[in-house]
């Protein structure tokens, strides 16, 4: 069931380093998902979570045969305020050749509706925190043993740390109560994959920088620019000292053709991290798009001296520099005074 990421379309004519590629190089900070036999009460107390949570207003869509994916997705979407007809979701995400639905299809369907699909990590504490924050959690379970296990999507809607149970909307059962150990075993068999659907700009209960930025960047990559900007803005507020959320904001401005705003954004990123090759490359591109080709060339040449010789984005810098030099050879600055100000250190 573990599949690759969906293919994203690339805009032509802009040599801009997308945040998605940069995020992939960050150090992983997510939990490893080794909850084991941890007791819910032992997790709830240090996290200051309620002993009992149940999101009983979460809708319920009983599944038909092999349709647990669409049913679980319909539950999650309606809970997030974006109801979708079940038959439409069945056509959208069901893969006949696999007799089921794959994770990328569910993620893409959430994203297509302007919601942020956030993979919430793989530990029971994180699951409980999301539920306590009011977010139902779509989970994948591996049921059965042997060479032909059954893969099943359900939506976690609550827990009871006193009774050590987890509550699910699952299959044809509106309220399935499982012992936490049983749930964790079936969830662990599916690598503890879990997903929440958030309005862009709203943070998950226990946000992880890399996972959140990857989700925000995926919105930008499919043209959900308003949602992407809201998500990056929330990330910039939550992690004010981190350059990557601000890089995402500038990328959204660039995708809209707002080159002045993008240039200011990239410059702010470089003030936080002067050696970030993506921000340097994209700032030079923005300057060139503003008609300041000579300034763009000088900025790129000066900044490249700070970039690690082994940085994987060095080839992109060289290609962008060649493009800018070609433009500078045939075009004068559009607004010399503006370009002079932008070229100041």
Q: Are 73 and 110 in contact (CB under 8 A)?
A: yes
pLDDT at 13 over 50: no
Lowest mean pLDDT among 111-115, 170-174, 332-336: 332-336
Segments making up each domain of the chain, as ranges: 30-198, 247-342
pLDDT digits (tens, 9 = 90+) for 120-169: 878 999 999 999 999 999 999 998 765 556 889 999 999 999 999 999 99
DSSP result, 265-306:
HHHHHHHH-TT-HHHHHHHHHHHHHTT-HHHHHHHHHHHHTT
Q: How confident is the model at residue 304 (pLDDT cuts 50, 70, 90)?
A: very high
* Contacts (Cβ under 8 Å, ≥6 apart) of 243: 269, 272, 273, 276, 279
What is the distance between the alpha carbons of residues 155 and 261, in angstroms, rounded to a whole number?
Answer: 41
| Residue 341 backbone dihedrals phi, psi, to 5 degrees | -70, -40
Q: Provide the pLDDT for residue 30.
A: 32
pLDDT band per the 50, 70, 90 thresholds, residue 214: very high
Taking the model in full, what pTM does it have? 0.84
Look at residue 15 in the predicted model and tell me its pLDDT. Answer: 59
With a CB cutoff of 8 Å and minimum separation 6, the contacts of 185 are none
Residue 123 CA: distances (Å) to CA of 65, 76, 106, 193, 207: 29, 20, 21, 9, 13
Res 107 pLDDT > 60: yes
- pLDDT for residue 280: 97
Cα 26 from chain centroid?
Answer: 14
Compute the mean pLDDT over every residue in the chain, rounded to the nearest whole number: 86
| Long-range pairs for 98-104: beta carbons < 8 A, 24 or more residues apart | 99/66, 100/1, 100/66, 100/68, 100/69, 100/151, 101/68, 101/69, 101/70, 101/73, 101/153, 102/1, 102/3, 103/1, 103/2, 103/3, 103/140, 103/193, 103/195, 104/3, 104/4, 104/5, 104/6
The pLDDT tens digits for 34-74 are: 334 568 999 998 889 999 999 999 999 998 766 888 899 99
Task: Decide if 204 contacts 210 (C-beta within 8 A).
Answer: no
Measured distance CA(37)–CA(35) in Å, rounded: 6
- pLDDT at 131 (0 to 100): 97
Backbone angles phi, psi at 166, to 5 degrees: -120, 140
Runs of H (alpha helix) within the chain? 19-23, 40-44, 68-79, 86-93, 103-112, 124-132, 180-189, 209-221, 225-238, 243-255, 259-272, 277-289, 293-304, 314-330, 336-342
Contact status, residue 222 vs residue 8, Cβ threshold 8 Å: yes
Residue range 30-198 forms a domain whose CATH class is alpha beta
User: What CATH code would you report for 247-342?
Assistant: 1.25.40.10
Check whether 313 has a pLDDT greater than 60: yes
Q: What residues does 152 pair with on adjacent strands?
A: 141
- Cα–Cα distance, 118 to 97 (Å, whole number): 27
d(CA 164, CA 236): 37
């Amino acid at each position: 069931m573990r599949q690759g990421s969906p293919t994203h379309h690339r805009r032509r004519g802009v040599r801009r380093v997308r945040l998605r590629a940069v995020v992939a190089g960050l150090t992983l900070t997510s939990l490893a998902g080794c909850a084991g036999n941890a007791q819910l009460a032992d997790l709830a107390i240090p996290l200051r979570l309620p002993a009992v949570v149940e999101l009983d207003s979460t809708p319920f869509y009983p599944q038909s045969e092999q349709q647990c994916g669409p049913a679980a997705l319909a539950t999650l979407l309606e809970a997030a305020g974006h109801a979708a007809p079940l038959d439409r979701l069945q056509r959208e995400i069901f893969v006949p050749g696999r007799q089921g639905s794959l994770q990328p299809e569910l993620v893409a369907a959430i994203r297509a509706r302007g919601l942020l699909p956030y993979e919430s990590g793989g530990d029971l504490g994180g699951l409980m925190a999301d539920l306590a924050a009011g977010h139902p959690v779509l989970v994948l379970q591996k049921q059965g043993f042997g060479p032909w296990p059954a893969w099943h999507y359900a939506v976690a809607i609550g827990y009871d740390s006193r009774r050590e149970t987890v509550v699910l909307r699952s299959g044809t059962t509106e309220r399935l109560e499982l012992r936490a150990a049983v749930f964790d075993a079936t969830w662990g068999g599916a690598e503890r994959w879990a997903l929440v659907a958030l309005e862009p700009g709203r943070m998950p209960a226990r946000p992880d920088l890399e996972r959140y930025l990857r989700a925000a960047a995926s919105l930008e990559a499919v043209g959900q620019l308003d949602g992407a900007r809201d998500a990056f803005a929330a990330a910039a507020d939550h992690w004010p000292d981190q350059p990557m959320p601000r890089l995402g904001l500038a990328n959204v401005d660039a995708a809209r053709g707002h080159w002045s705003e993008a240039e200011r954004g990239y410059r702010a990123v470089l003030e936080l991290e002067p050696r970030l090759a993506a921000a340097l490359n994209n700032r030079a591109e923005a300057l060139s798009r503003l008609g300041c080709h000579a300034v763009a060339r000088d900025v790129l040449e000066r900044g490249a001296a700070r970039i690690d010789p082994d940085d994987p984005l060095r080839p992109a810098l060289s290609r962008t520099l060649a493009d800018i030099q070609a433009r500078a050879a045939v075009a004068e600055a559009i607004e010399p005074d503006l370009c002079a100000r932008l070229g100041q250190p």
